[in-house]
Amino acid sequence: MKPARSDLEREELAPHSTIDITRETCPMTFVRVRLALDRLAAGQILEVFLRGEEPRRNVPRTAAEQGHRILAAEEREGGVMRLLLERGA
């Protein structure tokens, strides 16, 4: 039986690693994200939980500037954002 499209999408976006930087402040927010991305192979997915205006603006922008791809960004309760990043080459 062929899996439903939503099952494939969930499988494709399953993170290989997760970090929670909701208690970190800039510039440590991206430093922690970069170290986590460096531990992944190209094409693997990092799930990041972050909070605050500066990290919401800077983490996705800096990740994209360094060649990584933003797969998803969604708001969660308590002002937390969930970000999925695919490691670039």
Helix 28-38 vs helix 53-65: angle between axes, to the nearest 10 degrees?
Answer: 40
Residue 56 CB neighbours (<10 A): 18
CATH number for 42: 3.30.110.40
**Confidence (pLDDT) at 26:** 81
Q: Residue 7 domain-assigned?
A: no
**Confidence (pLDDT) at 43:** 96
In the 8-state DSSP scheme, what is residue 24? -
Quote the strand ranges of the chain, DSSP E.
17-20, 45-51, 69-75, 80-86
Our count of domains for the chain comes to: 1
Q: Of how many residues is the chain composed?
A: 89
Whole-model pTM: value is 0.83
**Confidence (pLDDT) at 36:** 97
Q: Residue 10 domain-assigned?
A: no
Interval 11-63: pLDDT, tens: 557 899 999 999 998 888 989 999 999 999 999 999 999 999 999 999 999 99
Q: Residue 35 domain-assigned?
A: yes
Q: By residue range, what is the domain housing residue 70?
A: 15-86
- Both structure tokens of 18: 């997760």
